[in-house]
Structure 1
Amino acid sequence: MSASTAPLELLQAVDRSFQDIIVEGFFAGIYAAAFIVTIFGLSRRLEDGRSTIYLLLVTILMFCLSYIHFGAHWYFARIAYVWDNTGPEGVVNALHSQTFAGQMTGSVAFAANIFIADCLFIWRCWVIWDQDWRVVALPILTTVAATIFSGLNLAAEGGVLSPTFIDTSTSFLALSVVTTLLVTVLITYRIYSVAADLRKQGGGGFGGYFSAVEIIVESALLNSIALLALLILVRRMDDNYVYAQNIVAQVSGLAPTLIIARISLGLARPNDTWNNTGRGTHVGTSLVFSSAAGRSNTLHNMSADDAEDVEKQAVGSSASPSLAR
Structure 2
Amino acid sequence: MNDKRIKRFIPPEWHPTGAVQLTWPDEKTDWNYMLKDVTKCYQNVAKVISDHVKLLVVCRDPVKTASFLSHCDPNQLIFVRAELNDTWARDHAFITVLENDTPVFLDFGFNGWGDKFNATDDNLINQTVFEGHVFANGTYEDHNHFILEGGSIESDGKGTILTTSECLLAKTRNATYPKEKIEEYLKNSLGAERVLWLNYGWLRGDDTDSHIDTLARFCAPDTIAYIECSDPSDEHFEALAGMKAQLQSFRQTNGKPYRLIPLPMATPVFDSEDGHRLPATYANFLIVNTSVLMPVYNQSTDTEARKALQEAFPEHTIIPVDCSPLIRQHGSLHCITMQYPAEVSFI
TM-score range, shorter chain: under 0.3
In our comparison, the structure showing a higher alpha carbon Rg is 1
Question: Hey, which of these two has a bigger chunk of helix by percent?
Answer: 1
